[in-house]
Chains A and B, each alone.
Chain A
Amino acid sequence: MSTPVVFDPMTLPSDDNVNSYTFCVELKGSRWFLQKGKMIAYYGQIDFDGIGHGRFERLVRTSFHSPLHASDWVVAEGSGKMLLADRAFDVNSFDLDDGNLTIRSGNLLAYEPSLALKQSIVPGFVTLIGTGKFVAASNGPVVFMEPPLRVDPQALVGWADCPSPCHHYDHGYMTGVMGGIRSLTGIGGTSGEEHQFEFVGAGTVLLQSSEALMAEQATGFVPNEPGVPGGPGGGGQHGSTPRMPGQLGDLQRRFGL
Chain B
Amino acid sequence: MFRLQGSKTLAVDLTGDAVKAKNGSMVAYDGRMTFKKMSGGGEGLRGMVTRRLTGEQMTVMEVSGQGTCYFADRASEINLVSLHGDTLYVEASNLLATDSGLRTGTTFTGLRGGASGNGLFTTTVEGTGQAAIMSDGAAVLLRVSPQYPLMVDPGAYIAHQGRLQQSFQSGVNFRTLMGEGSGEAFQIRFEGDGLVYVQPSERNTVGGDV
Contacts and interface: CB of A to CB of B under 8 A. Distances in A.
A215 interface: no
Interface string B154-196: 0110000000000000010001101111111000000000011
Interface stretch (A19-27, A147-155, A160-168): A19-27
Contacts of A88: 136-137, 199-201
Nearest to A10: B148
B143 A40 contact: no
Given A4-B80, A40-B153, A50 B138 contact: no
A9 B148 contact: yes
Contacts of B138: 19-22
Interface in B109-149: 130, 136-138, 140-143, 145, 148-149
B200 A48 contact: no
Interface string B36-51: 0000000000000000
B175 A37 contact: no
A125 B175 CA distance: 28
A87 B202 contact: yes
A39 B145 contact: no
Nearest to B196: A41
A169 interface: no
A41 B82 contact: no
B175 A49 contact: yes
Q: Which one of B155, B175, B201 has the highest number of Cβ atoms from chain A below 10 Å of its Cβ?
A: B201
Given A4-B79, A37-B184, A49-B182, A22 B140 contact: yes
Nearest to A74: B182
A20 to B, nearest CB: 7
A85 B156 contact: yes
Contact of B156 (A7, A41, A46, A71): A41
Contacts of B141: 4-7
Interface residues of A, number: 37
Contacts, number: 118
- Size band of the B side of the interface? 35 or more
A86 interface: yes
B205 to A, nearest CB: 10
Q: Which one of A5, A19, A37 has the highest number of Cβ atoms from chain B below 10 Å of its Cβ?
A: A37
B2 interface: yes
Contacts of B103: none
Contact of A1 (B2, B137, B153, B178): B2
Nearest to A51: B180
A193 interface: no
B40 to A, nearest CB: 29
Contacts of B151: 41-43, 46
Contacts of A47: 171
Given A8-B148, A50-B175, A39 B140 contact: no
Contacts of B130: 1
A210 B141 CA distance: 28
B33 interface: no
Contacts of A5: 141
10 contacts: A8-B148, A22-B137, A40-B155, A40-B199, A42-B150, A43-B148, A48-B171, A49-B182, A50-B180, A88-B201
Interface of B: 2-4, 79-80, 82, 130, 136-138, 140-143, 145, 148-153, 155-156, 171, 175-176, 178-184, 195-196, 198-202, 208-209
Closest 5 CB pairs of A and B: A88-B137, A36-B183, A85-B200, A21-B200, A40-B156
Interface of A: 1, 3-9, 18-22, 36-37, 39-44, 46-52, 54, 71, 74, 83, 85-88, 91
Given A37-B209, A41-B140, A87-B201, 4 more contacts: A19-B138, A22-B140, A41-B153, A91-B200
